[in-house]
Amino acid sequence: LWLPSASVVRAMSSSTGPTAPFTTLAISHPAKSVTHVELHRPEKLNAMNSAFWSEMVECFNDLAADPDCRVVVVSGAGRLFTAGIDLMDMASDVLQPQGDDTARISWSLRRKIAKYQETFSVIEKCPKPVVVAVHGACIGGGVDLITACDIRLCTQDAWFQVKEVDIGLAADVGTLQRLPKVIGSRSLVNDLALTARRMYADEAKSSGLVSRVFPDKEAMITGAVEMAGEIAGRSPVAVQGTKINLIYSRDHSVAEGLDYMATWNMSMLQTDDVIKSAQASMEKKGPKTVTFSKL
Amino acid sequence: LWLPSASVVRAMSSSTGPTAPFTTLAISHPAKSVTHVELHRPEKLNAMNSAFWSEMVECFNDLAADPDCRVVVVSGAGRLFTAGIDLMDMASDVLQPQGDDTARISWSLRRKIAKYQETFSVIEKCPKPVVVAVHGACIGGGVDLITACDIRLCTQDAWFQVKEVDIGLAADVGTLQRLPKVIGSRSLVNDLALTARRMYADEAKSSGLVSRVFPDKEAMITGAVEMAGEIAGRSPVAVQGTKINLIYSRDHSVAEGLDYMATWNMSMLQTDDVIKSAQASMEKKGPKTVTFSKL
Amino acid sequence: LWLPSASVVRAMSSSTGPTAPFTTLAISHPAKSVTHVELHRPEKLNAMNSAFWSEMVECFNDLAADPDCRVVVVSGAGRLFTAGIDLMDMASDVLQPQGDDTARISWSLRRKIAKYQETFSVIEKCPKPVVVAVHGACIGGGVDLITACDIRLCTQDAWFQVKEVDIGLAADVGTLQRLPKVIGSRSLVNDLALTARRMYADEAKSSGLVSRVFPDKEAMITGAVEMAGEIAGRSPVAVQGTKINLIYSRDHSVAEGLDYMATWNMSMLQTDDVIKSAQASMEKKGPKTVTFSKL
Amino acid sequence: LWLPSASVVRAMSSSTGPTAPFTTLAISHPAKSVTHVELHRPEKLNAMNSAFWSEMVECFNDLAADPDCRVVVVSGAGRLFTAGIDLMDMASDVLQPQGDDTARISWSLRRKIAKYQETFSVIEKCPKPVVVAVHGACIGGGVDLITACDIRLCTQDAWFQVKEVDIGLAADVGTLQRLPKVIGSRSLVNDLALTARRMYADEAKSSGLVSRVFPDKEAMITGAVEMAGEIAGRSPVAVQGTKINLIYSRDHSVAEGLDYMATWNMSMLQTDDVIKSAQASMEKKGPKTVTFSKL
Amino acid sequence: LWLPSASVVRAMSSSTGPTAPFTTLAISHPAKSVTHVELHRPEKLNAMNSAFWSEMVECFNDLAADPDCRVVVVSGAGRLFTAGIDLMDMASDVLQPQGDDTARISWSLRRKIAKYQETFSVIEKCPKPVVVAVHGACIGGGVDLITACDIRLCTQDAWFQVKEVDIGLAADVGTLQRLPKVIGSRSLVNDLALTARRMYADEAKSSGLVSRVFPDKEAMITGAVEMAGEIAGRSPVAVQGTKINLIYSRDHSVAEGLDYMATWNMSMLQTDDVIKSAQASMEKKGPKTVTFSKL
Amino acid sequence: LWLPSASVVRAMSSSTGPTAPFTTLAISHPAKSVTHVELHRPEKLNAMNSAFWSEMVECFNDLAADPDCRVVVVSGAGRLFTAGIDLMDMASDVLQPQGDDTARISWSLRRKIAKYQETFSVIEKCPKPVVVAVHGACIGGGVDLITACDIRLCTQDAWFQVKEVDIGLAADVGTLQRLPKVIGSRSLVNDLALTARRMYADEAKSSGLVSRVFPDKEAMITGAVEMAGEIAGRSPVAVQGTKINLIYSRDHSVAEGLDYMATWNMSMLQTDDVIKSAQASMEKKGPKTVTFSKL
C-alpha cells in the first residue's frame, strides 16, 4: 500500500512556484495517477485574478483528457486557501463594463458572468474526482470553487465566508446554486449567505460542508493525497462513472436518475475491470492490487 | 455598530397587543429597516384562526412593497410560539365544506387549501429575508410557517411537532414540501412527519432545522434583531437578490440556477451599491457604514 | 399503549426460517397492523441471490395491497444485516450476459439493471411506511435497499459500506440516486461512494443516515416495532398520504409539491378519520385509541 | 338545441359601451352560463391602456369565482380586435421607469412586467374555458392575449402580428412562451416573432393558430356563442377539470400528467354528473338536456 | 421486396375470432417480424370491457419480450375501430367504487385509474413501434389508445371523438396528456376535448393526428402492414433505440435528450448492424436485404 | 428598403469555393449585417467530413461574437443541400473506435457523439437568428443541422430524409431531440424516423417543417437574404433576446419561461433601441430606418 510520507508532501509543488504555462497554478504529481493543483499566488493570498479564471479552465480541461490523472487534489499555497476574487485586478473588467446603453452593458456582463461560472463548472464536468483541502481562509470566490469540488477537507484553523453581500452583490459564480445542495441545513446556508459571517472548521464539519478536519496543513495534505490515492487505485470506469451519475442525480428526480444509470451501466458493466476486481476480491486482495487499463 | 439592548427588546410590540388593522399580529420596528411581526393571540397560544390566515398575506404583501423594511423578524407573543391551527375556529371552514356532491366539496376544499398554502408562500415570495425566532412550542401549522422562513432560531426550551397525522390528515400547507429541503436527514423528516413526535432544541440544532439556539427568549430576540440588523445594513440589492436566487436554486438544477443568476446579475451588478461597498471595503470600513438607496 | 416486550421480539420470525412462498424472506406480525420482513439467509450473510430480487417485489406488492398491513419493519436475520449482492449466485446473470454483439448484450444488461432497480423501488412505491433496522454490516446492495426505506435505525455495532467501486462498477440499483437525497452532506456522500470506506454508527447518526442508534439488536427491534406501532395506530389515510406526498416533494419543486398536495387532500380531507381524530384530541385521548376503517 | 340568432348577437354588449365598473371592457350574457367579455375602446382600436391591464385581472378573477359563468367568449368592439399596447398611455410607465440606479430601475421594471404577464395568465388560471374571436387586426399584446385563451376563432379578414421587435424589444407578456406551444411549426413561430410580419387568416388556420375561420364578424360571434353554449351545457366538473389538466399536461411530462390526472379524478369521478350524464346517454339524450349543480 | 397482397390481408386474424388466451384480442403475423393485434369484439363494437384492460397489458408485455416481433399493427375488427369504454361492463367498477368513506373510495378509484392508464402506457413502454390503423369510429377510450401508438393511419370514413365530457368526466387514461403532444394545434385540442365533437379524416390528416388516409379498410391494412414490413426489415437496434429516444425527448429538454442519446449510443453504435448496413448501403443494397440478429 | 437582386445572389460565395480558414464552408456577406454560410464541398455533395464538424463550431462561435453579423443564412453549394455524414471519411472515427474493453470504447464513443452534437448545438447557442435554405436533398446529418436552425425555407424540388435507421443506428446528433419540437405531427415524426422515407417540399410545408417554399434555388436565396435583411434591420437587442427566450421557452414550462423573460427584460427594456424604434414608429417610419448600436 502506497502511503505519502510527510517528506513527500513537503516536496510537493508549493515551494517552486507556478508551473508553466500557468502563472497562478502549480501542478505536481504526489502519487500515482494523482494530480495536485495548487492555487499559487501566495503573496496575493491566492486572490483570483484574470489569469486565474482562464487558467483553471485550461487546467481542468487538460486533466479531464489526461488518462494519467485519475484524481485531483486542490489546495492553496502560503498562509491561506484563497482571499477570493482579486478586486483590484478584476475591477475594470466587472465594475467598468463597456456598452452603448444599459442593455448592451448588461449583455456584456452576462457573457462575463457565464465565463466566470464556467471556471468552476469545469471542475464538475471533469469526470475525475476532485478533493479540495482548505487551510486558513476560504473567502468569496473560494466558496464558489470548493462547492464545485467533490470532497471537502479542512484544517482546524480554517474558516469560510460567503463574502459577496458585503460588496453589494449576490454571489453569481456558483455559491448560491451549489451550497444548498452541498450541506443539509437551509437555515445555515441562508445565514451564511445573508450575513457574510465566518464559519469555522467545527461548524463546517458538523454541517457537513467538509467531511474531515485535520489538525494542520501538513496532516491535511497527507490525508488528502492518501484519500486520492485510495480512489486512484480503483477502477477508473467505476470511479468516474460514479462521479458522473452522482452529479446527474443531484439535478434530476430519482426515477430519471435510475433510468440514466441503467443506460450508463449497460455498457460500462462490460468492462474487464469488473472481472479483475471480482477476482481480486475473491482472492481477498484489495482493488488497489489490480492494474486497470487507462480510460 | 448598532446593538439592541435588552430594554429595546422589552419595548417591542409584545406588551401592547395587535397592531391595527391586524387582530392577530403585532408589528414593530426594533431597529433601522427591521420589521418585527409578532403572532399575537397569546391567550389562545397564538393559534391560527381565520383572521390570521388572511392577515399574514396582507402583512407580508405590505412588507414586500415597503422600502423601509429590509429584514423581517417573526416571533410569538406569550408562553409559546404557536399551538398551530385553531381547530375550533377553523372547523366549520375545513371540516364542514359545502357542495352538492363529492366533486363539488372537493373543488371547494382544493380552493381553500390553496388559499392556506398561499399564507405561508407569501413569506417566501417576499424578497426580504425573514428570520423566525421560536420559543416554547411550535406545533402543526407552526412548522409549515417556519419552514417558509429563511433563518430559524430557537430557545433551549423550544420543541417542534409535525402534528397533522394525529388529527387524521397529511400536512397540506407546506411542511411535507419544505421540511425535506430545509434539513438534511430524510430519515428524521419521515420520523417526525409519521410519528408526530416532539423534536427538542438540541436535535433541531444538530439536524440543521435551526442554526442557533439561545438560552432564553430575551436572548433570542436580542440575537434575532441583531442578526436582522446585520443583514439590513447591507445592500438591499445584494441581500434580496441573494434570497430570490437561493429559492430559485432550490427548485432547479445547478445549470438552470447559474443561467438565471447570470441573467439576474447582468443588471443588478450595475448598482451603485457595488462601488460604494467596494470603496468602503478598501477603506477598511464595514458595509454597514454605507448608505444605500431604497429599493 | 401497546409495548412490545423483549419476549415478543424474541418470538419474531427469525428463529423459524423463511416464510413460504419465500425462500429468502421471513414474514411475521409482531404488532397490530405491523408486518416484519426479515432478510433470512443467515448462513449466507443474507446475501442477495436471484430469488431475493424477485421475492422482494412480490412481497412488497402484496404488502401494498394488504389492508391489514399499515407499517413494515425490515431487518436481517443472523450476524449482520446483509453482505450485499451474492456475487456467486448472480455472476452468470450479470457477468456473463448474453447477446450476439455489444449492442445486444447492452440491451439485455439494461433490462436486468432496470429489473434490479425495481426490487428496491417497490419499497418506495408501497404507500405504507417502511422502517429498516440495521445491525452488523450493511454492504453494497444493502445500502441501495435501506436508502429506499423511509426511516433508518441501527445498532451501535453497525457499519455501512458503498462497496461497488471496489468491484469495478458504479452502484446502479439506487445508492447513487437516493443516498444524496437521504443525507445532507454531499462531501460525505462522495467520500463514501468513491473510497468504499466503512461508515460506523456514530457517523451514520451525525450525518443523518439513521435517525436513532440502539445499544444492541434486541433493543433496536423492540424500538423499531414500537415506532411502527405508533405509526400503525394513526389514521392510514393520513400516514400513507404523508409518505406519498413526501416522496413526491423530493422529486419536484415546492410549488409543484404544494399543487399536488392540494389536489390530493381535496378528497382525503373528507375522511371520517379527521372527525374521529379531532374528537379524540378534544377528549384528550391519543389517536391510537381510535379505530380507523381499513384502507 | 339552443341556437343564437343573429339578433341575439346584435343585441350583445358592443353597442352600449363598457360595463361598470370597467372602462375598457363590456360584459354581457349572450347565452345561459356564457359570459361575453368585449374589449371596448373602439375609438382607440381597443389599445391596451393602464386601466385595461388591471381590469382584465379583476374581470377574470370575478369570472373564475362566478358559478353562473361556465364559458367565456372574448372579442373586440369596433373595427378590429386590438391594436395592442397603448404606447401613449403606457409610455411613462414602461419607458420612463423610476429608480436611483440601473439595478433599482431594473427591479421596478421586473415587477411591472410580472404584473402585465399576470394580466393574461389570469385567463389561463380561470378554470372556465375561454373562446376568443378575432376580427380585423390582432397586434402585439393582442397575440399575448389570445395565446392565453383556450380556443381561437377568426374572421376571413383577420390578421395577426407579433409586433414587439419593431419597437425594439422582445415580447415579454406571453407570446414567446405560449405561441410555440400553441402552434406546431417552430419555423413559423420564429419567422413571425423575428420579422414582425402579418399572418392572415388562411395561414392562421393551416398553422393551427385558429381552429375555425368565419366569413365575417357576425357569423363568427354567432359561432363562438354557439360553441360556448355547447361547452356550457356540459358538466362543469368535466369541462373545468379538462381545462386544468390540459394546461397541467403542457408543462409536465406524460408520466407526471397521468399521475396528476389520477389524483384529480379520484374525487371528481364521484360527482353526480357522471350518473346523470350516463343515464342521459343511455336514454339517447344529449348532455345538454341534463341540469348540473353549480360548481 | 416483400409486399402484402390483398389476399394476405384478408387472411389476417379478423375472421377467426380472438386468439387464446385472449378474449378481446386477435393476434396474427401478416408479415415477417410483424405482429397484428386486432381489437376483436365486433358484436360489441370493440368496446373496452374488463377483460380488455388486462389483456392489453399482458399482450404488449409479451410483445415487448418477443424477439420475433419487431413491429406491431393495431386495428379493429368489424364495423368500426372502437366505441370506447364498455360502460355497461365497467359501470360497477368505476361508478360504484367501494370504500367506507370518501377518502377510501377515492383511494380505490385512484388505484383503478392508474391501472387503466397503464393499459395504454404499455404500448409506449414496448420498444417496438406500434402502427395503429383506424376505420369507422374511434371514440373515447379509443383516442386514449391511439395517442399512445407511434404512427396513426386512418380510412377516409374514419372519425375521432374525445367523448369524456359528454359523460361528465375529464378524460383520464391518456388523451389529455398525449393528444396535445401528438398534434400541433392547441386550439384544436381544446376544441375537441371541450365540445366532444367529431373530427373526420380530412381534419385528422391536416392537423397531423394521422399521417396517412386510405380510401378503405383493405387498402389501409395493406398499407399498414407494408409500412410495418419496411420498419421490421431494418436493424432492430436502430429502430427500437429510435422509439425509446423519441419518447424520452418528448418529456425532456433538448439538452437532456442529447445527453441521454449520447449515453445510449455509446454502446448501441458498437452493434454489428452498423457494419452490415453500411456495407449493404455501399453495395447499393437496401437495409432490408440484411439479416440482423435478434434483439 | 434594401432588396437583393438576382445579380447579388449570383455574386455570392458559391462560385469561388471555400473561404479560408475553412475548407468546407464559404462565407460571404450578401447584405448589411447578414452573413451567408455555404456548405461548400459540392463535388462531394456537401457530405460532412471531419473538417466540417470542427469548422462549423469555429464558424458559429465567430459569428456569435461578431457584432457585424446580426443574421445568418445557411445553404448548400452545388446540386443539393447535403448528402449527410461522409461515411468514408468518418468511418475510422466512428466505426473503429479505440479502447481496451467495451467500457473504454463506449467512453470514447460518448465523447465523440457529444462533440458531434455540439457542432449543431452551436447554431442554437449563437444568439443571431439562422435562416436555412434547402434545395435538392437534405439527408441524415442534414436534418440534424436544419432542425437546429431557426427558420427553414426550401425549394420546390427539395426533399428530406432521416436516414439513420438505414445504416443501423438511431440518429444521435439532434434529429430525434429537435424534430418533434419543430413540427406538430408526432405521427409524421415517427413515420419519418422509423421508415427513413423521403419527405418532399409540399409535405414539408404542410407539416410546418419549412415555413416557405420557393420555385427554385435562386428565388429561395433571394428570399432568404431578403428575410435576413428584414430581421437584420431591426434592433439586435430585440432580435437576439427574442431568439434566446424562444429557445428557453421550448425547454421550460410557461411559468418558468415568463419568469426568465421578466428577469431578462428588466435590463433589456432600458435599451435606447426602444426609444429610437418608438419614435420612428410614431413618425410612421419603419424600424429599418433606425441606426442601432452594435451589440
pLDDT tens by residue, C105-160: 999 999 999 999 999 999 999 999 999 999 999 999 999 999 999 999 999 999 99
Nearest beta carbon to residue C187 from set A152, A262, A292: A152
CB contact under 8 Å between B95 and C271, yes or no, is: no
Q: How far separated are the first and last CA of chain D, in Å rounded?
A: 23
On chain E, the residues whose CB falls within 8 A of the CB of D250 are 180, 186
**Above 90 in pLDDT, residue C98?**
no
Using CB atoms, which chains have 3+ pairs under 8 A with A?
B, C, E, F
DSSP character for A23?
Answer: S
- Please report, for residues E143, E178, E185, E189, E250, the alpha-carbon distance to residue E182 in angstroms, rounded to integers and kept in the order given: 11, 6, 9, 10, 10
Mean pLDDT computed over A30-40: 97
* Predicted pLDDT of residue D3: 46
* Predicted pLDDT of residue D12: 63
* Predicted pLDDT of residue B15: 65
Q: Looking at CA atoms only, how far is residue C20 from chain A in angstroms?
A: 31
**Phi then psi dihedrals of residue F160, to 5 deg:** -125, 140
Q: What is the pLDDT of residues A202-220, one digit of tens each?
A: 999 999 999 999 999 999 9
* Predicted pLDDT of residue F7: 55
* Predicted pLDDT of residue B97: 79
Choosing from A55, A124, A150, A164, which is the catalytic residue? A164
* Predicted pLDDT of residue B8: 55
- Please report, for residues D236, E119, E163, the alpha-carbon distance to residue D72 in angstroms, rounded to integers and kept in the order given: 13, 36, 22
The C-alpha cell at C118 is 425495481
Q: What is the pLDDT of residues A151-167, one digit of tens each?
A: 999 999 999 999 999 99
Q: Which amino acid is at E105?
A: I
Q: What is the pLDDT of residues B229-257, one digit of tens each?
A: 999 999 999 999 999 999 999 999 999 99
Rounded-to-integer distance, Cα F170 and Cα C107, Å: 14
Q: Which run of H or of E encompasses C268? A: helix C254-268
The CB density around residue C134, as the number of other CB atoms within 10 Å, is 30
Label residue D92 exposed, middle or buried (CB < 10 Å: 0-12, 13-18, 19+).
exposed
Nearest beta carbon to residue F230 from set D106, D174, D195: D195
Residues 6+ away with beta carbon under 8 Å from D154: D133, D134, D135, D138, D201, D204, D205, D210, D212, D213, D214, D220
On chain C, the residues whose CB falls within 8 A of the CB of A129 are 190, 194
Catalytic residues of F: 85, 141, 144, 164, 172
The C-alpha cell at A91 is 475591477
- Please report, for residues C11, C90, D62, E227, the alpha-carbon distance to residue F189 in angstroms, rounded to integers and kept in the order given: 62, 41, 43, 14
The C-alpha cell at D141 is 399584446
Mean pLDDT computed over C31-53: 96
Whose cell is 471595503? That residue is B281
Three-state SS for E183? coil
C144 is catalytic: yes
ipTM here: 0.95
Chain F residue with minimal CA distance to D103? F267
* Predicted pLDDT of residue F12: 63
Cross-sheet strand order for the sheet of D130-134: D25-31, D34-39, D71-76, D130-134, D151-155, D212-214
On chain F, the residues whose CB falls within 8 A of the CB of B260 are 260, 263
Q: What is the pLDDT of residues D96-110, one digit of tens each?
A: 778 999 999 999 999
The CB density around residue E88, as the number of other CB atoms within 10 Å, is 11
The CB density around residue A3, as the number of other CB atoms within 10 Å, is 10
On chain E, the residues whose CB falls within 8 A of the CB of F176 are 242, 245-246, 249, 257, 261
Q: What is the pLDDT of residues D250-286, one digit of tens each?
A: 999 999 999 999 999 999 999 999 999 988 988 988 8
* C250 — pLDDT class (breaks 50, 70, 90): very high
Q: Which run of H or of E encompasses B272? A: helix B272-282
Rounded-to-integer distance, Cα A248 and Cα D136, Å: 51
* Predicted pLDDT of residue B139: 98
Instruction: Give me chain B's average pLDDT, please.
Output: 93
The CB density around residue F166, as the number of other CB atoms within 10 Å, is 22
Instruction: Give me chain A's average pLDDT, please.
Output: 93
| Nearest-10 crossing angle of helices B50-65, B87-95 | 90
- Please report, for residues B183, E186, E199, the alpha-carbon distance to residue E159 in angstroms, rounded to integers and kept in the order given: 55, 19, 5
Beta strand segments in chain B, E: 25-31, 34-39, 71-76, 130-134, 137-139, 151-155, 159-161, 198-200, 212-214
CA torsion, ordered B135, B140, B142, B148, to nearest 10 deg: 130
Instruction: Give me chain F's average pLDDT, please.
Output: 93
Query: Chain F residues within 8 A (CB-CB) of chain A?
Result: 100-104, 106-107, 237, 267-273, 293-295
D141 is catalytic: yes
The CB density around residue C293, as the number of other CB atoms within 10 Å, is 17
Three-state SS for A86? coil
On chain D, the residues whose CB falls within 8 A of the CB of F286 are 166
- Interface probe for F, chosen from E132, E261, E293 (most Cβ of F below 10 Å), is E261
Rounded-to-integer distance, Cα D106 and Cα B236, Å: 14
pTM, whole model, 2 decimals?
0.96
Choosing from A38, A55, A124, A144, which is the catalytic residue? A144
On chain E, the residues whose CB falls within 8 A of the CB of A263 are 260, 263-264
Cross-sheet strand order for the sheet of D137-139: D137-139, D159-161, D198-200
Mean pLDDT computed over D228-234: 97
Residue segments in chain F with a per-residue pLDDT below the cut of 70: 1-15
On chain B, the residues whose CB falls within 8 A of the CB of C237 are 168-170
* Predicted pLDDT of residue C286: 84
**Above 80 in pLDDT, residue E179?**
yes
* Predicted pLDDT of residue B2: 43
* Predicted pLDDT of residue A6: 55
Q: What is the pLDDT of residues D88-98, one digit of tens each?
A: 888 777 777 78
Residues 6+ away with beta carbon under 8 Å from D250: D181, E180, E186, F253, F254
Choosing from B89, B172, B191, B226, which is the catalytic residue? B172
Q: Which run of H or of E encompasses F53? A: helix F50-65
* E272 — pLDDT class (breaks 50, 70, 90): very high
Nearest beta carbon to residue A185 from set B208, B243, B262: B208
**Phi then psi dihedrals of residue D97, to 5 deg:** -70, 150
Chain D residue with minimal CA distance to B272? D101
Percent over 90 (pLDDT), chain E: 86
* C1 — pLDDT class (breaks 50, 70, 90): very low
Q: Looking at CA atoms only, how far is residue A105 from chain F in angstroms?
A: 9
Using CB atoms, which chains have 3+ pairs under 8 A with C?
A, B, D, E
Nearest beta carbon to residue B241 from set A170, A185, A186: A170
Q: What is the pLDDT of residues D64-73, one digit of tens each?
A: 999 999 999 9
Residue spans of alpha helices (H) in D196-216: 201-206
- Interface probe for F, chosen from B267, B268, B269 (most Cβ of F below 10 Å), is B267
Rounded-to-integer distance, Cα C72 and Cα C128, Å: 7
DSSP E259-283: HHHHHHHHHHTTSHHHHHHHHHHHT
In this structure, are residues D133 and D82 in contact, taking their beta carbons and an 8 Å threshold?
Answer: no
- Interface probe for B, chosen from A122, A161, A177, A248 (most Cβ of B below 10 Å), is A177
